[in-house]
Amino acid sequence: MAYKLIYATEAKPGVIVLIDQIPCMVKSNNLSKTGKHGHVKCRIEALGLKDNKKRVFLKGGHEKLEAPRIDKNKGQILSIQGETISLMDLRNFETIEIDLPEELKEKIHEEEQIEYWTIEGKNILRKKI
């Protein structure tokens, strides 16, 4: 379920929207007007947060997109087991299992602090602090 709805013209770079129920970060939004009485068209390029796939789609400027609720949290890595890491949330000391992204494999190590996001009930590892 979306946290809020935004118009396609409000999808600026850096905004996170749901595309086919996948959270994606908008990289660009090109607006074009078709004519005297035409509606604004938006060509939106977005990058999937889980799979890093580029998605390009067209929407009318008056159409709405779903913007999910994002909780940004900090955690400490307890252990790394192949493709998953076990971390402790620094706010409530809960232990969480998260998939390790390919681009962060060489950069993070045990006992380091990281930032992770909770989007639509799914945890995504974002960066090393």
Q: Domain map of the chain by residue range? A: 4-67, 71-128
How many angstroms separate the CA atoms of 38 and 12, rounded? Answer: 22
Better-scored residue on pLDDT, 106 or 115? 115
Predicted pLDDT at 51: 82
pLDDT band, very low/low/confident/very high, at 121 (cuts 50, 70, 90): confident
- Pull the structure tokens for residue 111: 């006992």
Nearest to residue 91, comparing CAs of 116, 122, 120? 116
On whether the pTM is more than 0.75, the answer is: yes
Whole-number pLDDT of residue 63: 93
CATH of domain 71-128: 2.40.50.140
* Domain covering 4-67 assigned CATH 2.30.30.30 in the classification: yes
Helix, strand or coil for residue 57?
Answer: strand
Integer Cα distance of 13 and 23 in angstroms: 14
Percentage above 90 pLDDT, the chain: 53
Q: Which two tokens stand for residue 27?
A: 């990289």
Per-residue pLDDT of 20-78, as tens digits, reads 888 999 999 999 987 777 889 999 999 998 888 999 999 998 999 999 988 999 999 99
